[in-house]
Amino acid sequence: MTIYPSEIWEPSSDYHTRTGKLYSEAARDHLWMHFTRHSVFEGHGGAHNVPLIVKGEGAYIWDDRGNKYLDGLAGLFTVQVGHGRAELADAAMEQFKKIAYFPLWSYAHPRAIELAERLAHYAPGDLNRVFFTTGGGEAVESAWKLAKQYYKLVGKPMKTKVISRNIAYHGTPQGALSITGIPAAKAVFEPLVPGGHKVPNTNLYRAPEHLRDDPKAFGLWAANRIAEAIEFEGPETVAAVFLEPVQNSGGCFPPPPGYFDRVREICDEYDVLLVSDETICAFGRIGDYFACNQLGYVPDIITTAKGVTSGYAPLGCMIVSDRIFEPFRHGLTYFPHGYTFGGHPISCAIAMANLDIFEREGINEHVRETAPAFRAALEGLLDIPIVGDVRGEGFFYGIELVKDKATRETFDDGECERLLRGYLSKALFDSGIYCRADDRGDPVIQLAPPLIIGQTEFDDIAAKLRSVLEGAEAHL
């Protein structure tokens, strides 16, 4: 693996902007960070500085003080092939020299065409048509709009509603946010796009008690809630079901056995489109280019982003079946939708080079082969009193923290605040691992490292988590 030499960056604790301010001060004064409580940066003092990440190599990142961290979240579920890949910069540079920008509005450029062909090749069934966006939320937004227009074109104009799952995150545009199932992320933006309905997710750990020990029965039960919601809303009004292969938010809920078989059956029965939101799960995260391939179902639309470029440039897309595209082949019909930067040539060139790395280095195979060892390292933490559950697939895990393991009692809001924000987030970072402590559902630690790590890093992650979690109860 080629890495940029470290000499190009010298660690320094006093990075200054052109006005002479420390970066952390300028960040505090001018930068608006995403999903971030800015009050924690008010005032001065090291503990409240904006964490400043200045370098990455492989699975590691460095802050401005020269401290090294294992990137346990691949940036944001994104940097699949690791940081510092010179080859991806070279691919971008080559494209810059040819043409840096051109849109996909009635014209096209070679990199978008090549990438569309390649993604169609990796996608299952007849998912052959690729519509580029700049990220996952735009892909989800596009898919809902497409579903609405598709049903108008085939004479079912009432089909506009969508079904998705509790606590699932599908992005921030107002349509995608309607699909999102996290009340706290939506409340201040209401009223959102009407027509988003929620069903239970596949959190086996929190399944109804009589189903907890029978994943197959739980899977059937959870899938049937989708049928129930379609019946309840009226099948003639429901356009699509949006599901992640493994739901991220809430802490990695894999589908129970048989779940997607039954969901596919339901979607066919009611003529509802199945959208596999693989913004996180695609590109090796669970061991295949698309998670639906590995889990054995064929959706009507895949939405994806993030790992397609390993984060070296923004890109997302939806991949659509021939059946859905069919009405758009004729007459005056077109999809009145697009983005200036959707399918940007630089992003597409990087994506092609990123996928070359996947093929050459066997990234998917590596994830499939070593995932059991990663899981085992994390399951070793189950002896710690507050570790209730370890779950996930591939290189994608959630560790749920509980107050009482026997009863699975969770923490109240105040305890969550003290545990996650008061202690864990900082303690994990201080221990040398960047990952996420999250309580959009029950409190979890989320792990989704670059897909290039092995046993040494699995053990290191587990050791760091242990050192922090064993002391956690004292901070409640």
- For 180, phi then psi, to 5°, come to -60, 140
| Residue 140 interacts with ligand PLP (CB under 6 A): yes or no | yes
What would the two tokens of residue 175 be? 């349509």
Q: Is 400 in the site for ligand PLP (CB under 6 A)?
A: no
Contacts of residue 328, defined as CB under 8 A and 6 or more positions apart, other chains included, come to 153, 334, 335
Beta strands of 282-394 (E only): which ranges? 301-304, 316-321, 387-393
Using the rule CB under 6 A, is 277 a contact of ligand PLP? yes
- Smallest distance from ligand PLP to CB 398, Å: 13
Stretch that binds ligand PLP, among 124-132, 135-143, 152-160, 217-225 (CB under 6 A): 135-143
Q: Are 249 and 167 in contact (CB under 8 A)?
A: yes
CB nearer ligand PLP, residue 305 or residue 381: 305
Pick between residue 76 and residue 100 the one whose CB is nearest to ligand PLP: 76
Q: Is residue 448 near ligand PLP by the rule CB under 6 A?
A: no
Residues from 168 through 187 that contact ligand PLP (CB under 6 A) = 169-171
Site for ligand PLP in 457-476 (CB under 6 A): none
Nearer to ligand PLP, 142 or 279 (CB): 279
Which of 58, 75, 137, 256 binds ligand PLP (CB under 6 A)? It is 137
Is there binding between residue 299 and ligand PLP (CB under 6 A)? no
- Report the C-alpha gap between 88 and 223 in whole angstroms: 41
Give the nearest distance from C-beta 6 to ligand PLP in angstroms: 30
From the list 294, 274, 304, the residue with the least C-alpha distance to 140 is 304
Percentage helix, strand, coil for the chain under 3-state DSSP, each rounded to 5: 45, 15, 40
- Residue 393 lies near ligand PLP (rule: CB under 6 A): no
Q: Least distance in Å: CB of 316 to ligand PLP?
A: 6
For residue 54, what are the contacts with CB-CB under 8 A and spacing of at least 6? 9, 11, 15, 62, 63, 64
Query: Residue 204, interface with ligand PLP (CB under 6 A)?
Result: no
Q: Are 130 and 348 in contact (CB under 8 A)?
A: no
Burial of 319 (0-12, 13-18, 19+ CB in 10 A): buried
- Neighbouring CB atoms inside 10 A of 376's CB total 13
Using CB under 6 A, pick the residue from 24, 201, 248, 321 that binds ligand PLP. 248
* Closest chain position to ligand PLP (CB): 136
User: At its nearest, how many Å lie between ligand PLP and the CB of residue 9?
Assistant: 27
| 305 versus 447: smaller Cβ distance to ligand PLP | 305
Nearer to ligand PLP, 136 or 250 (CB): 136
In angstroms, rounded to a whole number, what is the distance separating the alpha carbons of residues 412 and 429? 24
If one asks whether residue 199 binds ligand PLP (CB under 6 A), the answer comes out as no
Selected binder of ligand PLP within 239, 241, 272, 280 (CB under 6 A): 280
* Options 163, 273, 292, 305; binder of ligand PLP; rule CB under 6 A: 305
The residue among 390, 402, 471 whose CA lies nearest residue 442 is 402
Contact between 439 and ligand PLP per CB under 6 A: no
Contacting range for ligand PLP; rule: CB under 6 A; set: 134-142, 225-233, 374-382, 390-398: 134-142
Residues in the chain: 476
What would the DSSP string read from start to end of 202-232?
A: --GGGS-GGGTT-HHHHHHHHHHHHHHHHHH
Q: In the complex, what is the shortest distance from the CB of residue 427 to ligand PLP, in angstroms, rounded to a whole number?
A: 24
Q: Which residues bind ligand PLP (CB under 6 A)?
A: 135-137, 140, 169-171, 244, 248, 277, 279-280, 305, 316
